[in-house]
Structure 1
């Protein structure tokens, strides 16, 4: 899916831009992500159920491939521990059948020492293998987190316009966090339990094959029961994670600075509390159901397992078998049987855990499988931002939203010579912001092309383009850190002198140094410590610090009062020398000195010329200026 296929309801000029952003963001559908209904139930959809079932176990296993050698070492240690541990029942039988009846103290000491040695060896091996397996698991979780974050960074603005912020956070935090036990202990758990089961079975048969048959009669119903419980857990897990995402959205919307201001001014705090309470209550119910799913069934199986020793004791005392099985063999076998059922239950539990975790993997893989709508070209054209002249051309550019009756931008051809200025004016919805967003490649044109110095923007690396084109719009996003770090965010290697120069150019330096902590003053969440005009000037300074050859100013001075606007405009006029500037403005006073003005109407250029020329024509521009 491309940005060109987004619905007209989300056109930027229609006011769908997300507040708090420093770039035009209204390029996505104005509909919530899946499951974004307020007060939604926690019912899993058929699509979600199908996704959970379609997750490939091979793909999950591929996560462990880079760590195969540590896992091999762990497996060998587990096998060694299992083999060593199997010596205990034979040592116990020797104690009961030989050392104690014969009062052989020397043999008894050696046997007891052997038991202690087995305990020490298995304990040490257990600690080491737990450390290795946990480290591997954490590395896998780190890989998943960084892969998801990196992939989401490559997504277009349209994706984030149509996706709830809390949903994205929930995928990275809750879903990946919920897989911790699976990726940190599943592989070793399977290896440890499987090895113990095999070793126990061999030892049991060696002690008494007849008693072994009695012990193994419970296996078929145990496996069938486990499959039923696993299916129950998987569905509940998917519903629980969806509810967690809803809870995250409520927190994001209700506790952000903008959300708090909105709730206080509209008096909606009670409804937000009710919404959060209901979501949390549903989550409690799902957590309980997740914990209790199949518990009665598994408890019944535990009772059956516990009844097996009683059956063994009974069979050993029957007339047909009385005296044929020694006390030592009986006790050792019972101990082995207990050692068998514990890992057997562990394997069944791991199976349930893996199956229920498929819902988590499905949600993570869904994000990793997202197509990158605006991607780097396979064979990029090299372009050094320092050597760019800055000529911008719109060559028969068309941009169409899906299901739209008409194009948002249609057949626009404009040449902006290097170092000159272009002003885009027109009524709301005329396509001004849409056209300007194509310059920074927030969207790709449906038809035609946009070039800088004759190179199609789609042939440039996104990182190179970001170094060439600087964007400032009316919505300013400031990080919750110091003023200095907010400015340095645009150029991590910037010196304090460069930061101060940019601030002076944006007419914000004097204000900054008047603050108690100067450039080290914390701006507060989303910059709400500063006024709208002050935020705007900080955003301008941040962009200018990068020294782009092309400037896109989308209502960049709209939040400023007349006096401040005049000062900033003077700074921009000075800095625009040698740069190509594309300005979008409703106040025609800010664009009257532009080298050329293009008037847009329903996505088409209906007039083009200088301020004086357009006024003389007494056309659309003159009507706007009236």
Structure 2
């Protein structure tokens, strides 16, 4: 299967034509590459529409009926010109005019019904795929998201799934309409005049060739323009974000960015001009073609060899049919392109739908309730290796966290501390060995039960773009206002929230009120307190904070840890001196364990870490003094 990493190298959110631009006269290289790397069978795609067999049959019937009714127009026109008008036959004239109006009314009514049914089918299929994809992505392992760009996920859920509606409402109905119309018009033309039909067959191929050639030229120009537009959008996004502006100002790269933007904008200007001129040539070519075809028909009708016995009505009716033939023929010729483009959309979505769920609920889950847990955690012979890595991140980990104990894990960067923490919350499963909670293997527990039992607070605090109350209730949707206040007080953040103009209704997140790092951390703590988990994992929760803020957050953490089994992943060793047990990791193995004083007296790796930490703090203090 093509990995998401491979997929995003060839398809991204930027630089990819939108749904409206895809129905061109040339298959894009991205679509071809997508289907080569991840082919999709027609049976699987058709299976999505299986529940809608009857509505689809109805839509097909409407298309056929509409096409046949449209073919009646030229024959009615011939009867009007050759019979009703010359003979002044009022009764026939009224009937024919009424038939023309009736056919138009019925065709329009059928078109409304067709649009409603096909759009409804498209929306239902889109809804099914969108919800299936979102639900499936929620079940994928954390490694999938570290390998896959967030914009790629959004693109497939929104852009690609939305574009699939056009497969039903546009592509499928267009194919059916064009095929039906082409066959019907060809039969009607032969019925009117087989001689003129032969002439049309001679003229039509060069006309189609010329139109397709101009369209390919415009497609090539549009592709280059899309690439330039994508480059421009990328530069705008990167250069005018807060971080981008700050980086440009500190590096003095503003003039360089302006020159680059000017160059891209100039290229886009030239490409848009070429595109419009190519379009103008295309329109001119089309006008020439549409003028030439009737002209040759009139010439043939006037020649004795080809126009014998032809009436004016037949000539006018045939010309009308000939004019309506060109567009559906072009549509039929593009069927393969439309199908390839549509299948590429399904391929992109199915590629993510087929991504394996590595961590899932057990078939027969153990009956465990978080409310009855004591909170004991054990690692038995645990080893772990990340997919694609040649080295183990953890090896032979045997560790017990008694219920209510405070255990700290320390070590240098890359020693496996965060990996160990991730195994407790089952973000990953061990490659060998077992992780147990109260004697239950976490792999035998429902994922919801593990989430209820284990609360995680990390240094990367994420707040949703919603109110503070909604952010807190993300952990416990049925929490009352009083519950929110109690949790915020325990996290020492209630006074801060209450002082805001909108209090707990204050909107936070990327575009809301901006809290400092320590304030966000305490809101995250309140969110965890609201869940009241018996096991708490603190993954370097204060490493990104200054000393003053760290002390405030640490006080909240200490209060939160009371009565809970706490696993603390520590970067600053000053925060774990009073832990019941300190575990030292080095290259994925436990090399020491004990209390702070014992480990210092023993020497070894822990003593080295303490000395390095104290040296770092002294160097920082010296720097501050020098600056002062």
If asked which structure has higher relative contact order (CA below 8 Å, sep 6+), I would say 1
* 1:540 Cα deviation from its structure 2 partner: 0.8
Conservation of the 8 A alpha-carbon contact between 1:232 and 1:294: no
1:446-465 aligned at under 5 Å gives the runs 446-465=431-450
* 1:367 Cα deviation from its structure 2 partner: 3.0
Conservation of the 8 A alpha-carbon contact between 1:555 and 1:585: yes
Correspondence for 2:22? none
Conservation of the 8 A alpha-carbon contact between 1:468 and 1:550: yes
Conservation of the 8 A alpha-carbon contact between 1:170 and 1:245: no
Query: CA 1:164–1:321 in 2, change beyond 3 Å: closer, same or farther?
Result: closer
* 1:489 Cα deviation from its structure 2 partner: 1.6
Distance (whole Å) between structure 2 residues aligned to residue 239 and residue 337 of structure 1: 36
* 1:133 Cα deviation from its structure 2 partner: 2.1
* 1:233 Cα deviation from its structure 2 partner: 9.4
Aligned: 1:166 with 2:151:
yes
Correspondence for 2:622? none
Correspondence for 1:383? 368
Conservation of the 8 A alpha-carbon contact between 2:35 and 2:347: yes
* 1:78 Cα deviation from its structure 2 partner: 2.0
SS at match of 1:396: strand
Q: Which runs of 5 or more structure 2 residues have no equivalent in the other structure?
A: 18-26, 612-628
Distance (whole Å) between structure 1 residues aligned to residue 188 and residue 266 of structure 2: 50
SS at match of 2:9: coil
SS at match of 2:368: coil
Query: CA 1:467–1:154 in 2, change beyond 3 Å: closer, same or farther?
Result: same
Q: Which runs of 5 or more structure 1 residues have no equivalent in the other structure?
A: 6-27
Query: CA 1:62–1:531 in 2, change beyond 3 Å: closer, same or farther?
Result: same
Correspondence for 2:63? 78
SS at match of 2:409: strand
Conservation of the 8 A alpha-carbon contact between 1:233 and 1:352: no
Instruction: Select 1:598's aligned residue among 573, 579, 583.
Output: 583
SS at match of 1:412: strand
* 1:185 Cα deviation from its structure 2 partner: 1.3
Distance (whole Å) between structure 2 residues aligned to residue 244 and residue 364 of structure 1: 25
Query: CA 1:258–1:228 in 2, change beyond 3 Å: closer, same or farther?
Result: same
Query: CA 1:207–1:505 in 2, change beyond 3 Å: closer, same or farther?
Result: same
Conservation of the 8 A alpha-carbon contact between 2:196 and 2:306: no
SS at match of 1:320: helix
Query: CA 1:47–1:98 in 2, change beyond 3 Å: closer, same or farther?
Result: closer
SS at match of 1:434: helix
Higher helix share: 2
Correspondence for 2:397? 412
More displaced stretch, 421-430 vs 361-370: 361-370
SS at match of 2:396: strand
* 1:72 Cα deviation from its structure 2 partner: 1.9
Distance (whole Å) between structure 2 residues aligned to residue 344 and residue 36 of structure 1: 32
SS at match of 1:476: coil
The TM-score with structure 1 as length reference comes to 0.82
Correspondence for 2:193? 208
Conservation of the 8 A alpha-carbon contact between 1:478 and 1:527: no
CA RMSD between the two structures? 4.1
Query: CA 1:181–1:246 in 2, change beyond 3 Å: closer, same or farther?
Result: farther
* 1:499 Cα deviation from its structure 2 partner: 1.1
* 1:71 Cα deviation from its structure 2 partner: 2.3
Instruction: Select 2:184's aligned residue among 199, 219, 234.
Output: 199
Correspondence for 2:411? 426
Query: CA 1:156–1:590 in 2, change beyond 3 Å: closer, same or farther?
Result: same
Conservation of the 8 A alpha-carbon contact between 1:374 and 1:443: yes
Query: CA 1:316–1:561 in 2, change beyond 3 Å: closer, same or farther?
Result: closer
Instruction: Select 1:503's aligned residue among 483, 488, 498.
Output: 488
Correspondence for 1:618? 603
Distance (whole Å) between structure 2 residues aligned to residue 497 and residue 69 of structure 1: 54
More displaced stretch, 440-449 vs 492-501: 440-449
- Could you give the per-residue CA deviations for residues 233-267 of structure 1, whole angstroms, max 9, x where no partner exists? 99999988888877776566455555555455555
More displaced stretch, 590-599 vs 260-269: 260-269
Instruction: Select 2:9's aligned residue among 34, 42, 51.
Output: 34
More displaced stretch, 466-475 vs 360-369: 360-369
- Could you give the per-residue CA deviations for residues 187-231 of structure 1, whole angstroms, max 9, x where no partner exists? 222222222223323322332333333334456668888998999
Correspondence for 2:175? 190
SS at match of 1:347: helix
Aligned: 1:535 with 2:538:
no
Conservation of the 8 A alpha-carbon contact between 2:407 and 2:581: yes
* 1:413 Cα deviation from its structure 2 partner: 0.7
* 1:505 Cα deviation from its structure 2 partner: 0.8
Query: CA 1:88–1:32 in 2, change beyond 3 Å: closer, same or farther?
Result: closer
Query: CA 1:423–1:234 in 2, change beyond 3 Å: closer, same or farther?
Result: farther
Instruction: Select 1:116's aligned residue among 93, 101, 105.
Output: 101
Conservation of the 8 A alpha-carbon contact between 2:16 and 2:226: no
SS at match of 1:107: helix
Distance (whole Å) between structure 2 residues aligned to residue 324 and residue 619 of structure 1: 110
- Could you give the per-residue CA deviations for residues 535-556 of structure 1, whole angstroms, max 9, x where no partner exists? 1111111112111121110122
Correspondence for 2:541? 556
SS at match of 1:525: coil
Conservation of the 8 A alpha-carbon contact between 1:600 and 1:607: yes
Query: CA 1:273–1:447 in 2, change beyond 3 Å: closer, same or farther?
Result: farther
1:312-461 aligned at under 5 Å gives the runs 312-349=297-334, 351-401=336-386, 406-461=391-446
Distance (whole Å) between structure 1 residues aligned to residue 311 and residue 58 of structure 2: 39
Query: CA 1:122–1:223 in 2, change beyond 3 Å: closer, same or farther?
Result: same
Conservation of the 8 A alpha-carbon contact between 2:458 and 2:539: yes
More displaced stretch, 318-327 vs 514-523: 318-327
Instruction: Select 1:127's aligned residue among 66, 88, 112.
Output: 112
Query: CA 1:35–1:347 in 2, change beyond 3 Å: closer, same or farther?
Result: closer
Correspondence for 1:51? 34
* 1:460 Cα deviation from its structure 2 partner: 2.9
Aligned: 1:478 with 2:463:
yes
